Amino acid sequence: MANQNHIDQIAERVERLLVRYGELQRTNVLLTQQVETLTQERDSLKSRLNAARSRVDALLERLPDAPAVQKDPS
């Protein structure tokens, strides 16, 4: 009977490990999806930032040069 009890304990532990393994797999899938979503969002934001930077640079190029300010010699 001692052997059977020991086998039952091992079987129960294996079952718990399998349940935990399944939970970790599901968590990993969710985290992988989240990383992919955030990566896409980051890439989109970087693209928008570069486009905005280009527009600002183009606007700055169109500004007339500022007249030179002369200092008062006094």
In a domain, 16, yes or no: yes
Q: Residue 67: which pLDDT band, with cuts at 50, 70 and 90?
A: confident
In a domain, 12, yes or no: yes
Q: What's the chain's Rg over C-alpha atoms?
A: 33
| Model confidence pLDDT, tens digit, residues 9-41 | 999 999 999 999 999 999 999 999 999 999 999
In a domain, 56, yes or no: no
Give the number of domains in the chain: 1
In a domain, 51, yes or no: no
In a domain, 64, yes or no: no
In a domain, 34, yes or no: yes
Mean residue pLDDT across the chain: 93
pLDDT of residue 18: 98
pLDDT of residue 1: 73
- Structural domain including 34 reads 1-42
How distant, in Å, are the alpha carbons of 6, 7, 20 from that of 3? 5, 6, 26
In a domain, 20, yes or no: yes
In a domain, 70, yes or no: no
